[in-house]
């Protein structure tokens, strides 16, 4: 019989890879009996769902700081200028 630690590992592995038949059966029979591990699997699904919404994760983040914007603008100008000069 699996313990919860082993079951949590297989539940996680299942997200990244195909489980072997033995692993599938072991995990499944553990989950049948263990409410906490079923909860764990459910929260992994929730987590995955959050990440799979394309770039949901980054919407919240701050934009490019003004100082960096200016620095990069100047740098790009300089670059373009020098490539023009070469021609």
Partner 1 sequence: MKTHDLTPPEQWLEDYGDVLYRYALGRVRNPAVAEDLLQETLLSALKAQQNYSGTATTQTWLIGILKHKIIDFFRQKGREKEDTLDPQSSEIEQLLFDHEGHWQQALSNLPEPENAMQQAQFLAVLESCIDRLPGRLARVFILRELENLDNDEICQILAISSINNLWVMMSRARLQLRHCLEIQWLKH
- Is 33 a binding residue for partner 1 by CB under 8 A? The answer is no
Q: Measured between alpha carbons, how far is residue 4 from residues 29, 70, 74 in Å?
A: 12, 53, 56
Helix-strand-coil split of the chain, %, nearest 5: 80, 0, 20
- Is 56 a binding residue for partner 1 by CB under 8 A? The answer is yes
Q: Which of 60, 84, 85, 87 binds partner 1 (CB under 8 A)?
A: 60
How far apart (Å, rounded) are the C-alpha atoms in residues 61 and 14?
30
- Is 12 a binding residue for partner 1 by CB under 8 A? The answer is yes
55 Ramachandran zone, left/alpha/beta (phi>0; psi -120 to 50): left
Q: Which of 24, 25, 33, 72 binds partner 1 (CB under 8 A)?
A: 72
| Smallest separation, CB 25 to partner 1 (Å) | 18
Residues that bind partner 1 (CB under 8 A): 3-6, 8-9, 12-13, 15-17, 36-37, 39-40, 42-44, 46-48, 50-51, 55-65, 68-69, 71-73, 75-76, 79-80, 83
């Amino acid at each position: 019989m699996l313990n919860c630690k082993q079951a949590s590992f297989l539940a996680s592995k299942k997200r990244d890879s195909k489980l072997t038949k033995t692993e599938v059966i072991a995990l499944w029979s553990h989950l049948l009996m263990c409410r906490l591990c079923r909860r764990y699997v459910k929260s992994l699904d929730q987590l995955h769902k959050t990440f799979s919404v394309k770039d949901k994760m980054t919407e919240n983040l701050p934009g490019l700081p003004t100082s960096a914007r200016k620095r990069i603008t100047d740098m790009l100008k300089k670059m373009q200028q020098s490539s023009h000069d070469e021609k």
